[in-house]
Structure 1
Amino acid sequence: MEDPYCPRPIHAIVMPVPLQGHVIPAVNLALKLASNGFTITFINNEIIRHKITTSHPPANFDGSENDIFCGARECGLDIRHRTVGDGFPLSFDRLANDERYLEEGQLHAVPVLMDELVGDIVKEARDPPVSCLIADGFFTWPSMIAEKYDLVFVSFWTEPALVFTLYYHLDLLKTNGHYASHDNREDTIDYIPGVKAIEPKDLPSYLQETDVSTVMHRLIDVAFKDVKRADFVLCNTVEELESKPISALQEKQPFYAIGPLFPSGLTKGVVPTSLRPESNCTQWLNTKPHGSVLYVSFGSFLTSRKSDIDEIALGLALSKVNFIWVLRHDVVSYEEPYVLPIEFEEVKDRGLTVTWTNQAEVISHPSIGGFLTHCGWNSTLESIWCGVPMLCFPLTTDQITNKKLIVDDWKIGLNLSDGKPLTRFDVAAKINRLMSGKSSAELKTETMKVRQILRNALASNGSSEKNLCQFIANVKAKISK
């Protein structure tokens, strides 16, 4: 029977920022919406499509189309796949030339190319017609395109609500001298709606910098002016974990916590999303005792100081724990591959180093007992979901604020560095605190409590499921007007 308020399925265009940590939740959002009756046209950047299709066996795709969603369609989901350029050839190194890429590509080329592509999709799609644009909150163009083609504009936020509200209130931070000042204030910030108090050292890294003339700062400023024009905001978080900032944001705009956005049971999904070839670690993990392995990963693209990575390697050697380390060749530099200290050779019998793996499969394995992490939001949610306490080594952006949530608010992790230079002895001591003894047991207990909150949210009557249903009802009502 047709819904009298929305006689045809909602057809939504979904577009993620072209980074691994944004693509994964956007794909999972697309799958979730399609499972709830949406028709989805998912737009990937050409470089993302290229990396995914070259990182996975051809059997995953629809012949020459390289369509990553063919498995989803085989499951009965109506998801179409399109790609868009960014003004640069595939061979252009976007990470090594990030300033130019952001300026010429994301700020200038992509809005024009997206306007053309969305216009084409709107003209082509008649069954059902496009009615909704869901775009990452870091984009600068969605409101303009949504208005031009008369689409409902949904902003999708892939980080915690706390980080969203800090960016949302840049004007308050500026007015009070905590941001965009040559001498930023260092006292406690206690005036952000829904945030009782936060220290400047716990702000996202971009909000701690004194030079705000960079292209990234301009992008954030424009993007959050755009976000404030969204009809709805979806956030990959859980209401019970961030109730105060979410409640305050809901007074400004319709804001829905619908996370965590995982494939069912955190299993390998029907849509490939990895931008790198994955090593299978299951056989090695099967040989290790329950809870004995430390998983180490610092994300998909950010670099660290060589001295820090050296000390982490030597700390792992001193700690005596079993470990899997996702050690990218470009973990220190995009120009020169990283070489481990010679002393690290001694620990290869109890450790496994790989350049990339399926994190969800590894972290959900019973032998994993801890996670040394950069505190990316996807990694944080996956670690909690699997009941794995964290040792926190944030590198930049939201990771610094995520660490505050993990260590100070939820008490499910430890700081690795505490702002001091890393030493192998401190690294080994912190690893052992995470993996064994009284401290480890306390962290595990708290992690299991937060894990239950996540699982309750995704239950049939949980907050995230209710919020998703409310969002869908509200979108249908808006479209039918």
Structure 2
Amino acid sequence: MAKPHVLIVSSPAQGHVIPTMELAQRLIEQGVKVTFINTEATHKVMTKNWSKKDGYEDLMQMVSIPDGLEPWEDRNDWGKLIKSIPQSMHNKLEELIETINKEENNKITCVIADGCMGWPLRVANKMGIRRAAFWPASTATLSTVMSYRKLIDDGFINSNGTPRTSEMIRLSKTMPPIKPENLIWACVGDLATTEVYFQLTQDNVEISKMTEWYVCNSSIELEPGAFSLFPQFLPIGPLLASNRLANQVGQFWKEDSTCLEWLDQQPPCSVIYIAFGSITNLNQTQFEELAIGLELSNRPFLWVVRLGMTKEATTTYPDGYMERVSSRGKIVSWAPQQKVLAHPSIACFMSHCGWNSTLEGVANGLPFLCWPYFADQFYNKTYICETWKTGLGFKKDEAGIITRDEIKSKVEQLLTDKAFKTKALDIKEKVTSSVEKGGNSHNNLSNFIEWIQAKDTGAKDR
């Protein structure tokens, strides 16, 4: 008998690919066949770190489609990339599905699209294939996306998505406020890029009406207000919380596992872990202030300094820095983050507050030092610091720099006030219960998978 066959399309960014691959794993574990679509550029960097020993080769097929840009063009130009992708990939995806469907026992039975890139759902709708959207970021961020029309009507933004006021937005009494300039489409670059993102937002909201399910990588325990505001969104996460010590798939960067051996030699709950994801970029002054701030903390630290983290061609540390911190500092280009955060020697997580990192820290009961860079990270910081109260943010000086003294001060404050750790452990317990058998997210995911496996291709049955 033919297995259900799901085609999944992810946005071409590390923070999207990892949770979408986690969702694919859950489907595979239940005997669902998955064809996972990436752009050619993303496919190339992913497969460098993809290992057949991961055990998915029988049910997982990785396929790439060109994104429409030339090989030498800058894929960090998000405005250009998100315009090019649907133009280039739409017809090619339809042709791919037609080719796959020629095999009677291999037909695509469902398309799941990243909610930030909904055009594959148009393809599925046209071809009469069942449809679902997956939102890899916070549901609060999705709530702002779905509320764009109300934000225009209420005068917070204009018709191009540009903020019209500095007045705080509160979508509901049970959700924290957000500054208009921190809306996901308004904090990604210049005015032209904002307009491109906002047009994409509007398109995705319209396309979402074609979905039969809209599943979210979050839990009711983390974001009750957002799920109350939009009850049609179904929490199935955090997906990483039930896979904390497994080998994470979907990495763009080669992990340096030597840091785990180094962590084994550190005292329990002593190490500051610093990692700002795959996009954050610091100028040299800020980089040096961070380096010296960590040195002044007088605590062991594990710091991920990836290639391209600073705006300069090469990363330059303060004079004599490596020698001075060698006895208690470990610097790597990329870390196996799930395993690092689960290590007993980690005391706190200094993070850019990307949603994946936020969920990984939450699932391990860690307090945060929040250093958001762009997009949804500012709203995630608000949840950490003001709603969950499991972390602290940094204040910038008049030049826009987070100083060494500010870093030293906040590290000390976070790690001497036991309330942060207590609250973090409490949230960890709630989130862990949600993804375990009988929990809310576990039950929702099971119902979703049952729908995928059902032969009836009619309306969903919830």
Q: TM-score, normalised by structure 1?
A: 0.87
Q: Is the 8 A contact 2:218 2:235 kept in 1?
A: yes
Aligned pair partner of 2:179 in 178, 193, 200? 200
Q: Is the 8 A contact 2:274 2:301 kept in 1?
A: yes
Task: Report how far residue 208 of structure 1 moved.
Answer: 5.7
Q: Give the aligned partner of residue 100 of structure 2.
A: 121
Aligned pair partner of 1:99 in 79, 98, 101? 79
Q: TM-score, normalised by structure 2?
A: 0.90
Which structure 2 residues correspond to residues 254-333 of structure 1 after superposition, within 5 A? 254-262=232-240, 264-269=242-247, 272-280=249-257, 281-333=259-311
Q: Give the aligned partner of residue 426 of structure 1.
A: 406
- Change in Cα spacing, 1:480 to 1:174, as seen in structure 2 (3 Å) is closer
The Cα offsets for residues 422-464 of structure 1, whole Å up to 9 and x where unpaired, read as: 11101111112223x2x1x110000000000111011110001
Return the letter of the residue paired with 1:349. Answer: S
The Cα offsets for residues 58-97 of structure 1, whole Å up to 9 and x where unpaired, read as: xx24xxxxxxxx63336xx6222222221235554412x4
User: How many angstroms apart in 2 are the aligned matches of 1:98 and 1:199?
Assistant: 23
User: How many angstroms apart in 1 are the aligned matches of 2:206 and 2:356?
Assistant: 25
Instruction: Please state whether the residue corresponding to 2:277 is helix, strand or coil.
Output: coil
- Change in Cα spacing, 1:78 to 1:183, as seen in structure 2 (3 Å) is closer
Which structure 2 residues correspond to residues 147-162 of structure 1 after superposition, within 5 A? 147-162=125-140
Q: How many residues of Structure 1 are paired with residues of Structure 2 in the alignment?
A: 450
Work out whether 1:169 is the aligned partner of 2:152: no
Gaps of 5+ in 1: 1-6, 62-69
Which structure 2 residues correspond to residues 63-74 of structure 1 after superposition, within 5 A? 71-73=54-56
Return the letter of the residue paired with 1:113. Answer: K
Task: Report how far residue 266 of structure 1 moved.
Answer: 0.9
Instruction: Please state whether the residue corresponding to 1:206 is helix, strand or coil.
Output: coil
Which structure 2 residues correspond to residues 361-440 of structure 1 after superposition, within 5 A? 361-417=339-395, 421-435=401-415, 437=416, 439=417
Q: Is the 8 A contact 2:157 2:180 kept in 1?
A: no
User: How many angstroms apart in 1 are the aligned matches of 2:142 and 2:163?
Assistant: 24
Q: Give the aligned partner of residue 43 of structure 1.
A: 37
Return the letter of the residue paired with 1:276. Answer: W
Q: Is the 8 A contact 2:139 2:216 kept in 1?
A: yes
Q: Give the aligned partner of residue 68 of structure 2.
A: 87
Work out whether 1:31 is the aligned partner of 2:11: no
- Change in Cα spacing, 1:176 to 1:208, as seen in structure 2 (3 Å) is farther
Q: Percent identity?
A: 28
Q: Is the 8 A contact 1:314 1:343 kept in 2?
A: no
Aligned pair partner of 2:221 in 235, 240, 244? 240
Return the letter of the residue paired with 1:221. Answer: Q
Deviates more, 1:354-363 or 1:203-212: 203-212
User: How many angstroms apart in 2 are the aligned matches of 1:53 and 1:81?
Assistant: 9
Return the letter of the residue paired with 1:300. Answer: S
Gaps of 5+ in 2: none
Work out whether 1:112 is the aligned partner of 2:91: yes
Return the letter of the residue paired with 1:39. Answer: K
The Cα offsets for residues 99-144 of structure 1, whole Å up to 9 and x where unpaired, read as: 33333x32421223323223322334x2242121001011141231
Q: Is the 8 A contact 2:176 2:387 kept in 1?
A: no
Work out whether 1:78 is the aligned partner of 2:81: no
User: How many angstroms apart in 2 are the aligned matches of 1:197 and 1:25?
Assistant: 24
Q: Is the 8 A contact 1:179 1:207 kept in 2?
A: no
Q: Is the 8 A contact 2:241 2:360 kept in 1?
A: no
Task: Report how far residue 205 of structure 1 moved.
Answer: 4.7
Return the letter of the residue paired with 2:7. Answer: I
